[in-house]
Amino acid sequence: MATSSRLLRYAESRKNLTGSALGLVGVGITLTGAAGGLWPLVVGGLYAAGALIAPPERPGTPRFPDAGEQLDALRADFATLRAYLTEVELPPSAREKLTGLATLVEALLEPGWVSDPDHLHVLGRAVRQDIPEAVDTFVRTRWWSRFTPGAEPPESHLERQLAALHEEATAIAAALRDAEAIRQEIHTRYVEERGD
pTM, entire model: 0.66
Cα separation, 46 vs 126, whole angstroms: 62
pLDDT at position 150 over 90 = no
pLDDT digits over 75-118, tens only?
999 999 999 999 999 999 999 999 999 999 999 999 888 888 89
pLDDT digits over 25-56, tens only?
888 888 888 878 888 888 888 888 888 888 88
Which H/E stretch holds residue 154? helix 154-194
The answer to whether the CB of 156 falls within 8 A of the CB of 134 is: no
Which H/E stretch holds residue 10? helix 2-11
- Nearest to 162, CA basis, from 139, 144, 135, 129: 135
Q: What is the mean pLDDT of the chain?
A: 87
Cα separation, 150 vs 143, whole angstroms: 14
